[in-house]
């Protein structure tokens, strides 16, 4: 690879790092061709972009980026794949499900950058799975906001039925 090609790859990686708020770094070495193909297919279906990168080029792109990747450059050893997503927990869920279906320890999570938070190590996978996506948080907020309104409407409706029952009983009562 020539110096110009390396420079271009670093520029592309830097722009991808800048454009994505959710970046997972994983090790998929040791997977056979069919399993790797299945992983790529699963990523595509989930809206996750998977690419294999050279550690030195990714490290230089991280240094060039304006984001603070914390300890992530230190984990760039061995084979490295980068997963880009728009949803914070989507790659973690995909990795967990893929391991279960493939009955494999791979892909192995090296680290993740999720909306300015840095996670290092495969032991962080459960924490990443439990992160709520933006849509899930919005749904929870809407549910919380609707709850008091539903209670007021319910009370008004039940009160109206009681009142109409009393009026009806009084009107039917002989004088």
* 50 phi and psi angles, rounded to 5 deg: -115, 130
CB 75 within 8 A of CB 32: no
Question: What's the DSSP call for residue 132?
Answer: P
Looking at the chain, the whole-number percentage of residues with pLDDT higher than 70 is: 90
**pLDDT for 120-163, tens place per residue?**
888 888 888 887 777 778 888 888 777 776 776 666 666 666 66
**pLDDT for 102-126, tens place per residue?**
788 888 888 888 888 888 888 888 8
| Alpha carbons 15 and 63: distance in angstroms, whole number | 12
Q: Would you list the DSSP string of 73-88? A: GGG--SSEEEEEESST
Q: Tell me the pTM.
A: 0.74
For residue 158, what are the CA distances in angstroms to 32, 143, 171?
64, 22, 20
Candidates 3.40.640.10, 1.10.10.10, 3.30.70.1730, 3.30.365.10; CATH matching 3-131: 3.30.70.1730
Taking 3-state DSSP, the helix, strand and coil percentages for the chain, each rounded to the nearest 5, stand at 60, 15, 25
| Alpha carbons 43 and 50: distance in angstroms, whole number | 7
What residue ranges do the domains of the chain occupy?
A: 3-131, 132-175
E-assigned strand segments in the chain: 22-27, 49-53, 80-85, 108-114, 117-120
């Amino acid at each position: 690879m020539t110096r110009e090609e390396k420079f271009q790859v670093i520029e592309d990686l830097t722009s991808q790092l800048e454009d994505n708020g959710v970046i997972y770094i994983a090790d998929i070495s040791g997977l056979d061709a069919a399993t790797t193909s299945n992983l790529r297919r699963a990523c595509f279906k989930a809206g996750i972009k998977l690419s294999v990168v050279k550690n030195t080029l990714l490290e230089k792109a991280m240094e060039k980026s304006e984001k603070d990747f914390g300890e992530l450059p230190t984990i760039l050893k061995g084979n490295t794949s980068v997963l880009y997503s728009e949803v914070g927990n989507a790659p973690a869920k995909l990795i967990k499900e893929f391991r279960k279906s493939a009955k494999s320890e791979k892909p192995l999570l090296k680290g993740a950058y999720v909306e300015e938070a840095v996670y290092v190590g495969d032991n962080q996978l459960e924490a990443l799975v439990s992160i709520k996506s933006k849509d899930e948080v919005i749904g929870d907020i809407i549910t919380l906001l609707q709850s008091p309104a539903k209670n007021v409407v319910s009370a008004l409706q039940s009160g109206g039925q009681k009142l109409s029952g009393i009026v009806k009983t009084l009107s039917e009562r002989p004088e």
